[in-house]
Structure 1
């Protein structure tokens, strides 16, 4: 059998193990669900507010965007943190020393994180459905649209999670991306339609996948009449697929280059230096 195929199979097996560990470990599961749970609680308190120009609950309108933001955070920040921690403890170096080990390692990490991101959508959606009126989850088209939007969204964000994990040498260094991610969530229509924002801010939001992933998930879960609250008064499925597709192509073109560069720089001395630095951090 082709050695690369064996490595991919090993990676898929690892992904299954990591996914089971994530959804059965209370700490890991809370890490995935923290953002949507807290955000949904806040939006539930605002459920009597309405989307401008409609009588639809603002809380219900925000549910798909909150779940989309969780996908982006899980696919980027959480994946990047996993890679950074694996560089610190030598896991990545051991994978590099194994024939085709990097292939198996990356397949395992990426597929496992994709499964966790999908769980981060479905698990909060179960209690949200009865709490927030107006979500149309009984249609076949809802789940078809949700499936392709989620799949394409993961392809768009996961490579950049791997890239971010390659750029930082320590978990503490990852903190610098937290504020930009929060700001991006704020302008991307997660909690409020961006139609009321200044035009330059609308264009900024539409340059990033979080807006389009949220738009696609809103088109799946909300009544068609709510498209009037969106930019262009349309769900813009073609544009959603196009922008997410461009991000996915760019990510898969750039990620291998960055990852290969990172792997070349991994060595026993580098791991030892990171461990020594980690031991010196204040508790």
Structure 2
């Protein structure tokens, strides 16, 4: 009698399988596709049509170029925080998380797939936004050391947003409330963090409020990538503050990670 040996799947293969599943779920969701890809383009086109030709002082930078950098940062937050939190909350309500947890799939592989999906979707979204910025608003593609800055701002921003998204998903009572709760939060951050308005034109007290949250620093980091070096003098502190940007994003990543580890639930609250 012969037996056929079976090879146990590796952690990497399991994480990749989850990534494929998450990408399929994402591409099959018309609402998510519109929210992640079409909505930012619509906002960029709309604000660009209204304010696009205005030059910010004597900097040579147009409002559309400023807005594009902010929309890149906002897109990272939307994908990693809002969209991820809502999708996990929906999966919990539909008992999908409970079924996944009952399988031999390691929790780390499950979350690795989620993180990889956020990274890939964010990169595609950024590529589309930059292509639109270059084609319509004369945005300059980063060069030299700017790519290194883009890499660490993108990775830290994505890490913080994703950790906060996972953490927030467990703080939401149910999926129905997710959008109603998270949308106002994200809108508040967008309007106060230098996305839709020039940050230094906001009231000083509102600037201080925005400085507590990650989107302000993520947007400022992306401006340092896509705007001329000379524009740093127009920032609130007169510089790009790369060190402080990295520190704030890292702190928010740690906060999100700690909350996610302590509060994440695989089942609905009423199942307990």
Contact residue 193 and residue 229 of structure 1 kept, 8 A:
no
Partner of 1:214: 219
Contact 1:19 1:115 (8 Å CA) reproduced: no
Q: Is the 8 A contact 1:47 1:57 kept in 2?
A: yes
Alpha-carbon RMSD:
2.3
Deviation, structure 1 residue 107: 2.1
How far apart are the structure 2 equivalents of 1:67 and 1:19? 21
Residue 150, structure 1, aligned to residue 151, structure 2 = no
1:238 matched residue in structure 2: 243
2-side partners of 1:97 and 1:26: how far apart?
29
Q: 1:205 aligns with which of 210, 213, 217?
A: 210
**Post-superposition shift, 1:23?**
5.4
* TM-score, length of structure 2 as denominator length: 0.87
Aligned twin of 2:271: 270
- Post-superposition offset of 1:8: 5.2
The answer to whether 1:51 aligns with 2:52 is no
1 CA distance for matches of 2:99 and 2:64? 47
What is residue 144 of structure 2 aligned with on the other side?
140
Greater mean alpha carbon deviation, residues 58-67 or residues 8-17: 8-17
Give the 5 Å matches for 1:106-125. Answer: 106-125=111-130
Moved more, 249-258 or 18-27: 18-27
Provide TM-score, normalisation by structure 1.
0.84
CA deviations 1:4-53 (Å, max 9, x no partner) are x9445412332144336645876543231133112211232121112145
Which residue of structure 1 aligns with residue 261 of structure 2?
Answer: 256
Q: How many pairs were matched up?
A: 262
More helix by share: 1
> In the alignment, is residue 83 of structure 1 matched against residue 104 of structure 2?
no
Residues 257 and 217 of structure 1: CA distance in aligned 2, closer, same or farther (over 3 Å)? same
User: Counterparts of 1:266 and 1:47 in 2: how far apart (Å)?
Assistant: 46
Query: Does residue 223 of the first structure (1) align with residue 232 of the second (2)?
Result: no
**Given the superposition, is the C-alpha separation of residues 20 and 13 from structure 1 closer, same or farther in structure 2, using an over 3 Å criterion?**
same
Please tell me whether the aligned partners of residues 195 and 202 of structure 1 are also in contact (alpha carbons under 8 angstroms): yes
Report the alpha carbon displacement of residue 162 of structure 1 after superposing the two structures with TM: 0.5
2:175 to 164, 171, 175: 171
